[in-house]
Structure 1
Amino acid sequence: MELWMTEHRSFVFETFIQTRSSVVLTQCRFHTHFNVGQHGAILSRNTILKWVKSFRTTGSVRPGTTRGELQKTSKEFDKLWRPAHVAHALQMSERSVCQILHFDLHYHPYRVMVVQEVLRDDTVLITSDEVHFHLTGSVNKQNFWYWSANNPQELHQRPLHCECERVTVWCRMAQFGIIGPYFFMEGRRTVTVNSQCYMAMLCKFLLPELQRCRIDLTTVWFQQDGATCHTSRESMALLRKHFPGHLISKHGDVEWPP
């Protein structure tokens, strides 16, 4: 009978990760946890490193894991997507599994996102949105990102109730090119985008541009987000008239993807 069991190997590997690869701390915690006396069996440095290497090589803390068993275990792990399942299979704690995934394997958790796949032979998909540009330099934090090794802690001061000059720009992208930009203005004054302004843009700018580009509207999928001006009763009626059955939007034929 082997002196060291799977329970001992699991504890050693978990502790080795928790102590950031400290062999001495792993030995101390092992002897304390299993109440190893002064004349008890000694867990050597080589044994600890051997077990750690074995797990990283085979993915198992069980002694004597063969290549066939490893292949079988790997196929089973392909179906495991929660650390709790992996922890149960390896007889380890879920916390240790998460630490191994993060610190040792440099893995990060990702959520599955449901999106609309566009294939080469699919019909045309056009999507658009509008954005405000403040002429004073104020930044819309939802539309701008900073990429840096450290947080730049940038500060942008702006009045609480901003009445400064700005422009509202709309643009649409599709596989045949870009349509726009379109500025929501009356004379030289920027106007708030409401349902009436949005429909006017569709009728006076977008639809004529699609006709100029000789785009068959029956092959076009129109995509927009859930802004109030986009999804008002009047706007949706106009879009359904020109893109019947091909409207990707909140309350549309296909829901706007997350």
Structure 2
Amino acid sequence: MTEWSAEHRSFTIETYFKNNDSIVATMRAFRKKFKIPPKKPLPSRKAILRWVTNFLKTASALKISPAGPKKWLRTPEYVEKAKAALIKNPSRAARKHSSSLNISDRTLRRMSHDNSNFHAYKILITQELRGTDYDVRKLFASVMLEKLKCRPNSA
């Protein structure tokens, strides 16, 4: 994905309105103005519409930054809530815990790993090898070797 400058964005928005809201005409003018070869990428239809929408909302061609400070959820209170939920029901899926606590799945996993020493795992059912299995495997191998010796070479 190419990062477009404020100049690119403002030209695109201006051209979009001059061409009666035509995205195709805007893309052609963009390619011509900035001398972009035919195989090189242009701003997508979605990007152009997003730029126009942002411009109509904010009167700016620049990116809209998220409103307010970023919410940091790995606070001691959230860590304790997550720890309590995991201790209360350790067999419950992390996805379900995260949705009930209203935090992202990844944040919950980080908190559980870093602060609570819980580690996510998936139970796999495997076959158990017993003492008698060794003799059966040895017998199978010897039978197969005998069959291979009796077989004529097909090479």
Question: What range describes the TM-score normalised by the shorter chain of this pair?
Answer: 0.3 to 0.5
Query: What TM-score does the superposition give when structure 2 sets the normalisation length?
Result: 0.40
Higher helix share: 2
Query: What TM-score does the superposition give when structure 1 sets the normalisation length?
Result: 0.25
